[in-house]
Amino acid sequence: MKHYDFDTVIKRYGTGSYKWDEMTKVSNVGKDVIPFSVADMELVNPPEIIDGLKDFLNHSVLGYAQPTDAYINAVQNWILRRHNWKIEPEWIKDGPGVINAFFTAVKAFTKEGDGVMLMTPVYYPMYYAIERNNRVLVDNKLIVCGDHYEIDFDDFEQKAKDPNTKMLILCSPHNPTGRVWTNEELQRIGRICIDNNVIVVSDEIHNDIIMPGYKHTVFASICDDFAQNSITCTSPSKTFNIAGLQTANMIIPSKELRDIYWKEICTTEGNPKCNILGLEACRLAYEKCEEWLEQLIKLIDTNQKIVSDFVKKEFPQIKVFRLEGTYLLWMDFSELGIECRELSRILKEEAHLFFDDGYIFGEQGAGFERWNLACPTKYIYPALERLKTTLRRHI
Ligand SMILES: Cc1ncc(COP(=O)(O)O)c(C=O)c1O
């Protein structure tokens, strides 16, 4: 078995990395500090992607692109192999990203004033898709149960029944809580949505990164009714650390929904085209990088255990949520009694710990932090020591 490099960090100062640039704006951090915020990875890409892209560049012209048969096959095979869902070529609509896709879906399938449901706290651009398009947030708050969140189905059903609620943006697996919804939970969600004419946009960008012992179910794969009432957003970007290549695949089995979605894209974007290198990287990833992914999952699982064990021992007041999927660990610091913006300042400026502050994911996230664990394990230990020393000074 090939042993991949999950140890080297490429320092991204001044390379146009959003995450690193934001960190250096906040604080003059030392050169050994790596950020744990924005969801890309401090890991080198799979060599199969880098070498494959170099080879492609040596033999190609960078003109306008469209998906090749090999690309479509790679996407179909990946989804079948990893997610047990057989999709048809015409269901796939490639696009520049999943955020772009749920913004498009909101505009395509709802009108101003319509309600769009989110299960909160949740990935913050989902709120923007609602607010910036003058739709109304239908807030189904998740409930904390011990070390994980559960769905308040009574509230969900009541809100879905409101005739003004037209869409659910489902985050599955769920960012930031780390939940991988069970098949039973998804069945209940799907049935309520069908009964109440609520269309489901299932953002499954994290669906390849599932921790041992958990199983992800693609919402649309549960039954044809769900498939016909949904759009599934997938992407190799989180899984293989290629977010900068802006390539995603939306799977839309219903011809009616597909046509409406595509019309919206053609209206707003004028000339939708894809990124030739993004397409090639996606094909390479899905064809050649499965073993890399298996090793990545082990790394994330190791990192989450180290953080969980340390925090439970040193700071039992901080609640670490169970990581079922994604590489984003959700932690509740609120029992420390430090105001959330002050907590953020202390962590960043004093501890040089750059997490994502929980309040950006909605009001229930105040006092929480989201730790991006996709980095070499050796960076976790000093970060924990900095956390310990700094917090001890404040509590
Ligand atoms: C749930 C979720 N959806 C979408 C995205 C971003 O997708 P894209 O870069 O394809 O727009 C992220 C990135 O963190 C995410 O966590």
The Cα–Cα gap between 142 and 135 comes to 21
Distance 98 CA to ligand 1 centre (A): 6
Which pLDDT band holds residue 152 (cuts at 50, 70, 90)?
Answer: very high
Q: Which fold has domain 18-47+291-394?
A: Aspartate Aminotransferase, domain 1 (3.90.1150)
Pocket test for ligand 1, best of 37, 38, 170, 175 (most atoms within 8 A of CB): 175
The three-state secondary structure class of 2 is coil
Distance 126 CA to ligand 1 centre (A): 10
Structure tokens given for 98: 């999943």
pLDDT at residue 215 greater than cutoff 80? yes
| pLDDT, mean of residues 340-364 | 95
Distance 134 CA to ligand 1 centre (A): 21
User: Are the folds of 18-47+291-394 and 62-288 the same?
Assistant: no
If we measure between CA atoms, which residue out of 237, 225, 238, 235 comes closest to residue 199?
225
Which pLDDT band holds residue 331 (cuts at 50, 70, 90)?
Answer: very high
| pLDDT, mean of residues 121-130 | 98
Which protein residues are within 6 Å of ligand 1, measured from CB? 39, 97-100, 123, 171, 175, 203, 205, 235, 237, 243, 248
The Cα–Cα gap between 127 and 363 comes to 12
CA distances from 169 to 19, 174, 256 (A): 25, 11, 19
pLDDT at residue 33 greater than cutoff 90? no
pLDDT at residue 14 greater than cutoff 90? no
The Cα–Cα gap between 12 and 21 comes to 8
Domain boundaries, the chain: 18-47+291-394, 62-288
74-116: pLDDT as tens digits: 999 999 999 999 999 999 999 999 999 999 999 999 999 999 9
Structure tokens given for 354: 């750059």
**Predicted local distance difference test score (pLDDT) of residue 32:** 75
Q: Which residue has the tokens 């300042």?
A: 345
Percent of the chain at pLDDT above 90? 93
**Predicted local distance difference test score (pLDDT) of residue 192:** 98
**Using CA positions, which residue lies closest to atom 14 of ligand 1?**
39
Pocket test for ligand 1, best of 123, 124, 240 (most atoms within 8 A of CB): 123
For all residues of the chain together, what is the average pLDDT?
Answer: 96
| pLDDT, mean of residues 300-315 | 98
The Cα–Cα gap between 242 and 236 comes to 7
CB 321, CB 356: distance < 8 Å: no
| pLDDT, mean of residues 331-342 | 96
Q: What is the pTM of this model?
A: 0.97
Pocket test for ligand 1, best of 100, 127, 175, 205 (most atoms within 8 A of CB): 205
Distance 225 CA to ligand 1 centre (A): 26
| pLDDT, mean of residues 17-40 | 86
> Beta strands 148-150 and 165-171: pairing type?
unpaired
**Predicted local distance difference test score (pLDDT) of residue 86:** 98
pLDDT at residue 30 greater than cutoff 80? no
Neighbours of 247 (CB within 10 A): 27
- CA-atom Rg of the chain in angstroms: 21
Question: Residues 160, 163, 164, 169: is their CA dihedral positive or negative?
Answer: positive
pLDDT at residue 27 greater than cutoff 80? no
**Predicted local distance difference test score (pLDDT) of residue 25:** 83
**Predicted local distance difference test score (pLDDT) of residue 272:** 87
223-252: pLDDT as tens digits: 999 999 999 999 999 999 999 999 999 999
Contact residues for 177 (Cβ-Cβ < 8 A; gap 6+): 121, 142, 148, 149, 321, 330
The Cα–Cα gap between 104 and 201 comes to 11
**Predicted local distance difference test score (pLDDT) of residue 100:** 97
| pLDDT, mean of residues 123-148 | 98
Exposure string of 159-173, with b = 16+ CB inside 10 Å and e = fewer, is bbeeeebbbbbbbbb
Distance 96 CA to ligand 1 centre (A): 11
The Cα–Cα gap between 194 and 393 comes to 53
Q: Which CATH architecture has domain 62-288?
A: 3-Layer(aba) Sandwich (3.40)
Q: Per-residue DSSP letters for 77-106?
A: HHHHHHH-----GGGEEEES-HHHHHHHHH
**Predicted local distance difference test score (pLDDT) of residue 348:** 93
